Amino acid sequence: MKSVRRLSALINLHDLPLAWLQLKRQPVRYLVAVTGIGFAALLMFMQLGFQSGLLRSATTFYQALETDLILINPATVNSGSYQQFPQSLLYQALGIEGVSDTIPLYVTNINAQQLGGVKPTSLRVIGFDPNQTILDVPAINDQRDLLKTPNFVLFDKLGLSIKTGPVAKQFSDDGPLELILSNYSRSFRVMGLFKLGSTFVADSNLIASQATALELAFPQVTLGEISLGLIRLDPSANISQVQNYLRSLYGDQLQVLTKDELITQERNYWNNVSSFGVIFGFGTIMGLLVGGVVVYQVLYTDVSDHLKEYATLKAMGFSNQFILMVVIQESILLAVSAFIPATLLSAALYAGLTAVSGIRLEMTADKTLLVGSLTIGLCAVASAIAIRKLQDADPASVF
Amino acid sequence: MIDMQDPSPSDVIVAKGLTHSYGEGELKNEILHQLDFRVLAKEVTLLVGPSGSGKSTLLTLIGALRSVETGSLHVLGRQLLGASENELMAIRRRIGFIFQSHNLVASLTVLQNVQLLLQLAEPDPKLRQERAKAMLDAVGLSARLHHFPDELSGGQRQRVAIARALAPEPDLVLADEPTASLDSKSGQDVVELLGDLCRRRSSAVLLVTHDLRLLKDADRIWGIEDGRIHPWEEEEAKHNLSH
């Protein structure tokens, strides 16, 4: 209790919060500082939001897959461009004990448009046997019988709204609509809608039967050359044991991954191998630096302006600690004052960007905690540098 | 002559052979030369002298704002020669400082300025506020409690500075030209306030001043010229100050 009282007296928050009173007395400077630091926090939120949005969009499809193991060509570096492999290799898995089913998937990107309507747009086509359930997306599973008719597809309405929004709108207003490949070679009919989410490499998704996918995406994909192989196991099977068998079966020809391993591999690519991770990371650091410079400038000017007052306080018996605490409190007050509106504004921007881009940007607790810690941390560092100026507060100079 | 024996209980300040200089080597400039003097409790002592005579340096030494280099200086019973920073800070907390340029905290109101310093002396916030209000009332500022320093006249600011220094009831008051920006009546009131504190608390007041009006209220006058200190009678001080 005694130590709490001592701390309370030291930080001087009980009845005369000098740091707050000093900030409040100069509202314009306070507002400028809060704007600067808030902008830095906003910049960090945006970079982290884009980064997590990228990772989420790249892995949403994998997350929705209903499978125990996945076969993928080791030459496939990311989900934006698959290297095909022979379907016959997938069927070999059926010989392994514990494997109950194998499902081939064709995944590739096409460009399509609507004559006189929807502008050319990039679409990821996911082709599979419509008799099978491969994605944990109820709207797809409920409508998959429609896919049995050639050239009938389902359209993802969570795409980049500026480009694909008109498709969902037309479908809702007028029912099924016709799109055509950008090379005018084939057309297809949108028979239903679902929600999955766009990616950084495609504006939206199409779900089709294998046959329709092969027709639309030929010659990028050809019959018997698949993008992914899904392997489902008996409920009693040991997943890692079967995975080991399959690995020894395929050797270097194919990767055998669990869903989590595939997601980790995909995230690792975008985070560490591609330039995206570096760019977003650099953006976050830039935000941190901008904020740091702003806080340092504000605190340095503030300490300089109050130097005579601090020297007077020292002369009258206040400790160095007391004065240091005033400067540190100011920096924390600035950080908190800037962080709260920056978080609210970022959440609003995330919502707006999600609606426009179809890439989900979410204000999560870990993001809030990270940016909050970075903002307070940078204010603490800036105050530690500005505090050096306090040495100039010589109590002997007051007379 | 003043007897310069060891400090007695009534001595608040005792200096013996106090010397101070700035710079080093060939640039060394001795400001104070072998000062011997004392300031007693319950007395208002004036320190008078022309600009550049060493008054400010002497005040900073007595106020424990600067380390003593040579000689002996006892303030409030503590030897300041060789004192640590913490010891100097402890001494400063027992001194009330009144600065010529007021040195108020611009972001605090009149009441808050006085309350701030009382934090070092009074742990109860409620009592702090009562004491601050009472002192501000005593200097005639009870109608200005919630004004900021830049909303006050020079004289009002000086009165806040005086209230701030006296509110903790210090054992020693060091005042640099405390009546410079006050009219005759206010100046008189301030000196009476300081004298009252002396008698009630057995404190001592050391005033640096050029104000001839204060000479008659002083119990003792020290004159300082070219870094040397002498006891002066009222007439002698009046003569020296008016020339």
Q: For residue B3, is pLDDT > 70?
A: no
Hunting for tokens 């400001």 — which residue is that? B31
Q: Based on the fold, state whether residues A300 and A224 are members of the same structural domain.
A: no
Q: Which residue of A has its CA nearest to B91?
A: A317
Structural contact between residues B31 and B227, judged by C-beta atoms closer than 8 angstroms? yes
pTM of the complete model: 0.75
Would you state the pLDDT for residue B191?
82
Nearest by CB to residue B92, choosing from A15, A309, A316, is: A316
Residue contact A317–B120, C-beta within 8 A? yes
- Compute the mean pLDDT over every residue in chain A, rounded to the nearest whole number: 88
Residue at a domain's end among A253, A288, A304: A253
Q: Which residue of B has its CA nearest to A395?
A: B65
Distance between CA atoms of A142 and A130, rounded to whole angstroms?
11
Per-residue pLDDT of B135-177, as tens digits, reads 999 888 999 999 999 999 888 998 899 999 999 999 999 999 8
Q: Based on the fold, state whether residues A18 and A119 are members of the same structural domain.
A: no
* Domain boundaries B41-66+89-242, corresponding CATH code: 3.40.50.300
**Chain A residues within 8 angstroms (CB to CB) of chain B:** 9, 12, 14-16, 18, 21-22, 24-26, 308-309, 312-313, 315-319, 395-396, 398-399
- Whether A262 is in a domain gets the answer no
List, in sequence order, the alpha helices (H) in chain A. 2-11, 18-25, 27-64, 87-92, 138-143, 161-174, 210-217, 239-250, 259-268, 275-305, 307-315, 320-357, 365-386
Per-residue pLDDT of B42-58, as tens digits, reads 999 999 988 888 998 99
Per-residue pLDDT of A151-161, as tens digits, reads 999 999 887 77
Distance between CA atoms of A250 and A318, rounded to whole angstroms?
75
- Whether A264 is in a domain gets the answer no
Hunting for tokens 């100046």 — which residue is that? B187
Q: Which residue of A has its CA nearest to B65?
A: A396
Give the number of domains in chain A: 2
Nearest by CB to residue B115, choosing from A16, A22, A316, is: A16
In this prediction, residue A2 has a pLDDT band, given cuts at 50, 70 and 90, of low
By C-alpha distance, which of A134, A286, A272 is closest to A207? Answer: A134
Residue contact B93–A14, C-beta within 8 A? no
By C-alpha distance, which of A40, A89, A78, A32 is closest to A256? Answer: A89
- Whether A69 is in a domain gets the answer no
**Which chain A positions have a beta carbon within 8 Å of B108's beta carbon?**
16, 18, 21
Distance between CA atoms of A138 and A233, rounded to whole angstroms?
22
**Which chain A positions have a beta carbon within 8 Å of B171's beta carbon?**
none
- Whether A367 is in a domain gets the answer yes
By C-alpha distance, which of B90, B111, B46, B94 is closest to B201? Answer: B94
- Whether A268 is in a domain gets the answer no
Q: Based on the fold, state whether residues A179 and A302 are members of the same structural domain.
A: no
Per-residue pLDDT of A273-327, as tens digits, reads 888 888 888 888 888 888 788 878 878 888 888 888 889 999 999 998 888 888 8
The string over A138-176, giving b where at least 16 C-beta atoms fall within 10 Å of a residue's C-beta and e elsewhere, is: ebbeebbebbeeebbbbbbbbbbbebbbbbbebbeeeee
Q: Based on the fold, state whether residues A194 and A158 are members of the same structural domain.
A: yes
Q: Based on the fold, state whether residues A367 and A287 are members of the same structural domain.
A: yes
A316, A326, A327: best to mutate for the B interface, most B CBs within 10 A: A316
DSSP label at residue B213: G
Q: Based on the fold, state whether residues A121 and A236 are members of the same structural domain.
A: yes
Task: Please give the backbone phi and psi of residue A154, each rounded to the nearest 5 degrees, phi first.
Answer: -110, 145
Residue contact A9–B119, C-beta within 8 A? yes
**Which chain A positions have a beta carbon within 8 Å of B89's beta carbon?**
317, 319
Would you state the pLDDT for residue A159?
79
Residue contact A21–B148, C-beta within 8 A? no
Q: Based on the fold, state whether residues A91 and A39 are members of the same structural domain.
A: no
Q: Based on the fold, state whether residues A43 and A101 are members of the same structural domain.
A: no
- Whether A346 is in a domain gets the answer yes
Nearest by CB to residue A396, choosing from B66, B115, B148, is: B66
- Whether A31 is in a domain gets the answer yes
Residue contact B65–A317, C-beta within 8 A? no
Residue contact B112–A318, C-beta within 8 A? no
Q: Based on the fold, state whether residues A94 and A27 are members of the same structural domain.
A: no
- Whether A40 is in a domain gets the answer yes
Q: Which residue of A has its CA nearest to B173?
A: A316
Give the bridge partners for A86, in sequence order.
Answer: A225
State whether residue B59 sits within 8 Å of chain A by CB: yes
Per-residue pLDDT of A357-381, as tens digits, reads 777 888 999 999 999 998 888 888 8
Q: Which residue of A has its CA nearest to B125?
A: A15
Nearest by CB to residue A315, choosing from B90, B97, B112, is: B97
Would you state the pLDDT for residue A3?
63
Sorted by where each begins, the domain ranges of chain B are 41-66+89-242
Would you state the pLDDT for residue B174?
95
Q: Based on the fold, state whether residues A144 and A193 are members of the same structural domain.
A: yes
A8, A11, A12, A398: best to mutate for the B interface, most B CBs within 10 A: A398
Cβ under 8 Å to A: B residues 148-187: 148, 176
**Which chain B positions have a beta carbon within 8 Å of A333's beta carbon?**
none
**Which chain B positions have a beta carbon within 8 Å of A22's beta carbon?**
107
Quote the minimal CA–CA distance from A292 to chain B in Å.
25
- Burial of residue B209 (CB within 10 Å: 0-12, 13-18, 19+) is buried
In this prediction, residue A8 has a pLDDT band, given cuts at 50, 70 and 90, of low
Q: Based on the fold, state whether residues A214 and A303 are members of the same structural domain.
A: no
**Which chain B positions have a beta carbon within 8 Å of A26's beta carbon?**
107
B31, B120, B164: best to mutate for the A interface, most A CBs within 10 A: B120
Would you state the pLDDT for residue B1?
42
By C-alpha distance, which of A246, A205, A180, A202 is closest to A105? Answer: A205
Residue contact A15–B128, C-beta within 8 A? yes
A/B interface, count of CB pairs below 8 Å:
69
Range of the domain at A218: 74-253
